[in-house]
């Protein structure tokens, strides 16, 4: 089976396994995140997690159809930038919290290598240019930064005032 057949769908499969690791086996991501981030975790509600993971899965399906056509591969690379950034974030969070971050294993063993493999594959095929590929991965990789900013701002706007 050539990479052009399975590679477009690989982000969807990896995201499904990642979600399983975060929420089912071994699970516990929401509680772990609340322990680690404290007040900055107020925006990470069950509703938010369902919406963001639903959008991820929907986006992965859409990207697969676009990538299968061989067009606009920068969408695939941008999604993989998001996923690789998430995998590296899990590692960073585990080191900082000195505890296992649910999602770290799939993030590091699937997201990061898949991003590297796809980047090499699509560049070698000549179907995406270096500037477009690197820009897509870099832009996707910024997700963790604006997500952190979003959660920090949201947590401050929903914080309950402390009464004396």
- Convert the pLDDT of each residue in 79-114 to its tens digit: 999 999 999 999 999 999 999 999 999 999 999 999
pLDDT at 44 over 70: yes
CA 133/CA 59 separation, integer angstroms: 18
- Torsion (CA) 46, 24, 83, 104 in degrees, nearest 10: 110
11-28 pLDDT, tens digit per residue, is 999 999 999 999 999 999
């Amino acid at each position: 089976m050539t990479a052009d057949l399975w590679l477009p769908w690989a982000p969807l499969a990896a995201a499904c396994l990642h979600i399983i690791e975060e929420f089912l086996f071994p699970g516990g991501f929401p509680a772990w995140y609340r322990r680690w981030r404290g007040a900055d975790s107020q925006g990470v509600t069950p509703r938010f997690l369902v919406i963001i993971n639903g959008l991820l899965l929907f986006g992965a399906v859409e990207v697969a159809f676009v990538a299968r056509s061989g067009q606009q591969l920068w969408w695939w690379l941008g999604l993989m930038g998001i996923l690789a950034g998430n995998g590296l974030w899990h590692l960073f969070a585990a080191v900082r919290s000195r505890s296992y971050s649910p999602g770290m294993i799939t993030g590091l063993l699937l997201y990061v290598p898949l991003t590297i493999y796809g980047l090499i594959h699509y560049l070698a095929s000549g179907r995406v240019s270096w500037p477009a590929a690197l820009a897509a991965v870099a832009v996707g990789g910024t997700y963790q930064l604006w997500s952190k900013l979003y959660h920090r701002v949201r947590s401050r706007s929903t914080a309950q005032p402390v009464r004396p």
